[in-house]
A and B are shown apart, each in its own frame.
Chain A
Amino acid sequence: MSKQFQGRSRVWLTTGLLLLGIMIATAATLRQTNLVGASPASSATLSNDECMACHGESGMTLTLESEEILWLSIDANKFTNSVHNLEEVACVDCHTDITAFPHPERSAHSLRELSLELYTSCKECHSEQYDKTLDSMHERTLAGGDTNAAICTDCHNPHTQARMTHPVTGEILLLEKVKIPQTCARCHSTIYETYKQSVHGYALTSKYNQDVPTCIDCHGVHNIGDPRTASYRLESPQICASCHTDSDMMDKYGVSTDVVDTYVADFHGATIELFEKRSPDHDSNKPVCYDCHGIHDIKSPDDPDHGIALKENLLITCQRCHPEADANFPDSWMSHYVPDAEHYPIVFYVDWFYKILIPVVIGGMLLFVISDIVRRIIDKRKGASHS
């Protein structure tokens, strides 16, 4: 090997190493920006107008490796009304890796991969909600390998999501409330179909009634847990109670607010109440509200086809756990009535009988015992003074 060649190769080697070093450093810096640079203020180098100059054009698409079409156009109208635009969030606050044109290459092979890459930037602003999702059923499913499990952007399209809550009161706005079940329905469509027919779902979707619960009122939002667990079941009466003991709300519909008290006063509710306190993680075969009233198909008790105020329907309900029950059996459940002379008179008069018997007997005993004590004290003093 000649000396000259050796010298040349050293130059190449040095240059090569140098280039490699630069590449590594650049890569590291880029990685750094990906992690830290996500805070909105530091990376807002591009204005939304600059982005929309291209992305405002309709029909911009990109075909991914999976042969799915990625829409690059942003509907300016919808984005204008989105809460992100109203709150002046910049495109690059979420798309943190984009600082200039041309944009860096994407590694995602499919739309889903792309969503999964991008959605974590939500936590930069919505950390509270994001942290809650970490405890959710969806997150557990995702961690279990099911990439279809819902992530932030599946429910809240960041380009179109309107303001959901009232800026002052924090209450969910009616039109957004109506959309909640539809959002869940994208994945849980059969449940939605059932819910729509239920007394709550019908009122919401057909009457725009704001009082009724949507999915999130029972399942929670962001930290949606597993509703099949024993603890969810045992705690579920409290969920129903949160509205059904609110007299302001229930009076509007003429619905009793005694439903929880009467449930706990009876055998089933008393057992569930005690069971939940002692062993919230164990299954109990005693029914909770939804075992009789339905889960997603909750009907009004007066519903002509399914209402359990009708004895025939109630009997079918009873027979799910008491298969030998016959026609008289449903009357053993007082249908959430507080007994009075009209409803369940035998129970009412038994109560009434003891309301008299107990004070008379116990009062009489107490009077005799007290008089006896006093008399004995007096006798003793007399006896003592005589001796």
Chain B
Amino acid sequence: MSKTPRTYPRFELARRIEHLIMLLSFGTLGITGLPQKYPSSGISHFIVNLFGGIEGTRSIHHIAATVMMVGTIYHLLVFGYKFYVKRTRLGMLPALQDVRDGLQATLYNLGFAKKRPQMGRYTFEEKLEYWAFVWGTVIMGLTGFMMWNPITTSGILPGEFIPAAKAAHGLEAVLAVLAILIWHFYGVHFKIFNKAMWTGSMTEEEMLHEHPLELADIKAGVADRPVDPIILKKRQRVYFPVAAILTTIMLAGVFGFVNSENTAITTLPVSVERAGIGYDPQTPTPFPTLAPTPTPQPMEAVADLTWSGYIGPVLQEKCSMCHGALGGLSLASYADAMTGGQSGAIILPGDGANSLLVTIQIPGDHLGQLTPDELSLVQEWIDAGAPE
């Protein structure tokens, strides 16, 4: 018969609930944030569909962010209580020893150190993750505020901070999600399956492996001890009112964060009127009742009767299929056209009627036939001295 192994308390219920809330809000933020950073990818469309559209996805993202902010406030209050009222050891503060532990762990893994580092209540892995989370929360909170309240932000800072905030928010999110997937999952799920965040306690063997120095402290009786009830009461009388004021201020801050600006979320509907009047027939032409008959229409006025303004494009259109360089004649440029081809010059400036360009067209059976209108414009152009 084996005795039930002795367990050591690690996380009280409130901390476990806090972790669960952070887990849920962080997970939600990550999932709903992904399609906003990568809108063109297939998985994004899947996620957006899951949440009922981008507006819905964004609302859920905002709700999760609010939950995380409130969670952070709670965490700060608990910290204040432990710091001031209970005077617990600040085991989470980073110290030089953590660098040494990290170094030793790495060296051990590489075979350059004889044994693993012996660590206390919070290992260097846990501290790294905790402080990374703190850094991430600060960055995400600040940049999130800027995106949520762009007009307030640009009232204080240059407008460029908003796209910069967007860039930082997205990239910090990538960093945070990858860190959780690699560091957190490996540390507490794969290396060993650490259930302490759910059960609240660890067995002696687990403690020996993970937190040997803390175990030693507990056994030696030098771990945190309960505070004397009278002193506790006294400190609570100071802390609770202060905490209440701070909580009110912080919650008001969150409320402002979430509610101060609405234009970015519900902007004015775009008016269709700017498109112009749909149906507004030309006057005096009584279209569209004009029957398909040959009402002689004035020739389109050509604004600029020059090679570059009109003639060039027309000849390009009608003639260049053959007269690129073929037949010794190119009509690709003004200079080429003025040079002419095998039959000599085709344009005699000032004399349209005798220019080959016109005479060849007169019978109306040239392969690239100009319309009479075009032809008369070409003639007019040559008569005018064939300006470039």
A187, CB-defined interface residue at 8 Å: yes
Instruction: Given A77-B372, A296-B276, A369-B186, verify A322-B264 contact (CB < 8 Å).
Output: yes
> Separation in Å of the B381 CB from the closest CB of chain A?
14
Instruction: Given A186-B288, A228-B272, verify A75-B282 contact (CB < 8 Å).
Output: no
Mask: chain B, 166-184; 1 = CB below 8 Å from A; 0 = not: 1110011011001100110
Instruction: Given A228-B272, A374-B109, verify A70-B291 contact (CB < 8 Å).
Output: yes
A residues less than 8 Å from B291 (CB atoms)? 70-71, 111, 114-115, 153
Which partner residue on chain B sits nearest A191 by CB separation?
Answer: B276
A158, CB-defined interface residue at 8 Å: yes
B80, CB-defined interface residue at 8 Å: no
Which partner residue on chain B sits nearest A291 by CB separation?
Answer: B270
CB-based contact B289/A111 at 8 Å: yes
CB-based contact A334/B163 at 8 Å: yes
B7, CB-defined interface residue at 8 Å: no
> Separation in Å of the A235 CB from the closest CB of chain B?
15
CB-based contact A285/B270 at 8 Å: yes
B residues less than 8 Å from A277 (CB atoms)? 45, 48
What CA separation (Å) do A264 and B48 show in the bound complex? Answer: 16
| Stretch of B32-40, B213-221, B222-230, B344-352 with 4 or more beta carbons under 8 angstroms from chain A | B32-40
A residues less than 8 Å from B277 (CB atoms)? 188, 190-191
A residues less than 8 Å from B57 (CB atoms)? 274
B residues less than 8 Å from A158 (CB atoms)? 292
Which partner residue on chain A sits nearest B277 by CB separation?
Answer: A190
CB-based contact A332/B295 at 8 Å: no
What CA separation (Å) do A196 and B186 show in the bound complex? Answer: 65
What CA separation (Å) do A295 and B154 show in the bound complex? Answer: 28
> Separation in Å of the B207 CB from the closest CB of chain A?
19
B263, CB-defined interface residue at 8 Å: yes
A31, CB-defined interface residue at 8 Å: no
CB-based contact B371/A274 at 8 Å: no
Which partner residue on chain A sits nearest B172 by CB separation?
Answer: A354
B303, CB-defined interface residue at 8 Å: yes
B residues less than 8 Å from A278 (CB atoms)? 45, 48-49, 53-54
CB-based contact A346/B278 at 8 Å: no
CB-based contact A73/B294 at 8 Å: yes
Which partner residue on chain B sits nearest A367 by CB separation?
Answer: B106
Q: How many residues of chain A have a CB within 8 Å of chain B?
A: 104
What CA separation (Å) do A73 and B295 show in the bound complex? Answer: 9
CB-based contact B45/A295 at 8 Å: no
B residues less than 8 Å from A115 (CB atoms)? 289, 291-292
A331, CB-defined interface residue at 8 Å: yes
Instruction: Given A68-B289, A188-B278, A371-B106, verify A322-B267 contact (CB < 8 Å).
Output: yes
A residues less than 8 Å from B106 (CB atoms)? 368, 371
**A305-338, CB < 8 A from B:** 320-326, 328-334
CB-based contact B109/A266 at 8 Å: no
CB-based contact B154/A328 at 8 Å: yes
What CA separation (Å) do A114 and B264 show in the bound complex? Answer: 55
CB contact between A274 and one of B54, B162, B281, B364 (< 8 Å): that residue: B54
| Stretch of A14-22, A41-49, A355-363 with 4 or more beta carbons under 8 angstroms from chain B | A355-363
A107, CB-defined interface residue at 8 Å: no
Instruction: Given A115-B292, A350-B171, A362-B179, verify A189-B264 contact (CB < 8 Å).
Output: no
CB contact between A295 and one of B153, B268, B275 (< 8 Å): that residue: B275
Which 8 pairs, one residue from A and one from B, show the smallest C-beta to C-beta distance? A331-B159, A71-B293, A75-B294, A332-B162, A354-B171, A371-B109, A270-B39, A328-B154
What are 15 contact pairs spanning A and B, CB under 8 A?
A75-B296, A148-B279, A153-B292, A154-B288, A158-B292, A187-B279, A320-B268, A323-B268, A324-B151, A332-B159, A332-B163, A347-B160, A350-B168, A358-B175, A372-B109
Sample of 4 more A-B contacts, CB < 8 Å, known A174-B313, A191-B275: A208-B310, A326-B151, A344-B163, A347-B167
